[in-house]
Amino acid sequence: MDIEYKKSNWNNLKNSWWKILVVSFLGSLFNTIVHGLLPSGTTTLPPSIIVQQGLLPLAFLIYGFIYYALLGCVFVLISSRLQGSNFIKGLKYGLFFGILTIIVYLEPLPSTVTFSVTNILWMLADSIPYIVFGILMGIFLAKDNKKEDSIEIKSNKLLILVIPAIFLIGRLLSYNIFHIYSSYSILPVNTIIWVLTLGLGISIMYYYLLRPGVLKSSPFSTAILFGAMFGIYLFLFNFAYALIVNLKIDGYIDFFIRASIDVLFVSLGIFVYEYLLKIRIESSNIKEAEKDLN
């Protein structure tokens, strides 16, 4: 069953490549227009060469096109098992990244001690295009699931708490060993609360929005697929900042370490959650079988 499902998904990807490119261009165009309407933000870093040459809109358009195309490929691979109509499937996908972006923006950093109206506008401008893109992907690339075709998946809501717990371990490693850019040294409580909020947000949205589509035959495969999707989002979202400001090499290293550890520990959290759930379900099935025999 899983092999046939995998072949079907790859065939859909091969047949839908041009739709992915069209929707990705439209999504990137919308994103570029929205950002073009925003007031300039304040930063202590010098502007990038792209900004100095007046090429930021074009750079945003090209970068966003590649970014959305990669996310679009993942959507095609998971959409057939997502529950709901094509519109709802796309909305779920877009909401995952949109809400995730809002939480990421709330991270307490030295550069965001005060949260201005401009910060809020940029937060919305970065999050809303994901939702629009997701809806477009759903409309043009997904198919409705009949109610009887929806996949019912046994799960346990409390077990998802293992995901933010493992994510917290990863962030503590980033703060204390690699010393990534953060307010952890001056605002440790605020930072830990934000880390747990982000981890819990990821786990809740995974459970309610994307789990049926991401779930594979093994916990490891599920974690790899989710990690790939999360990694595309996190790496390209972080490195988009380099289009705007002139980063030094240590800035790129910081981004890379931050994103790598986040992706690794979120993926590990997904794996542990699915593994524990699998053990729990198998144990429950054995007990039911023993009852039937008695």
Burial of 4 (0-12, 13-18, 19+ CB in 10 A): exposed
- Cα 84 to Cα 145: distance, rounded to the nearest angstrom: 6
Task: Compute the CA torsion angle 10, 15, 19, 24 (nearest 10 deg).
Answer: 30
pLDDT at 11: 81
DSSP per residue, 150-206: SPP----SGGGGHHHHHHHHHHHHIIIII--SSSTTT-HHHHHHHHHHHHHHHHHHI
pLDDT at 140: 95
What tens digit of pLDDT does each residue of 249-288 get? 999 999 999 999 999 999 999 999 999 999 988 887 776 6
Give 47's strand partners. 245
Least confident range from 1-5, 28-32, 63-67, 160-164: namely 1-5
Percent of the chain whose pLDDT exceeds 90: 68
What tens digit of pLDDT does each residue of 57-107 get? 999 999 999 999 999 999 999 998 998 999 999 999 999 999 999 999 999
pLDDT at 127: 97
The DSSP secondary-structure symbol of 207 reads I
Both tokens assigned to 224: 């790899």
Query: Is residue 152's pLDDT more than 50?
Result: no
pLDDT at 284: 73
CB count in 10 Å sphere of residue 281? 14
* Angle at 227 (CA atoms; ends 226, 228), nearest 5 degrees: 90
The pTM (predicted TM-score) of the whole model is 0.90
pLDDT at 44: 66
Select from 215, 218, 238, 237 the least CA-distant residue to 226: 215
pLDDT at 20: 96
Could you tell me how far CA 73 lies from the centroid of its own chain? Answer: 14
pLDDT at 30: 97
pLDDT at 10: 74
Amino acid making up residue 158: L
Query: Is residue 113's pLDDT more than 70?
Result: no
Three-state DSSP state, 10 = helix
Least confident range from 20-24, 206-210, 241-245: namely 241-245
Segments making up each domain of the chain, as ranges: 2-293
Query: Is residue 236's pLDDT more than 60?
Result: yes
pLDDT at 197: 97
pLDDT at 149: 47
Task: Compute the CA torsion angle 115, 116, 117, 118 (nearest 10 deg).
Answer: -100
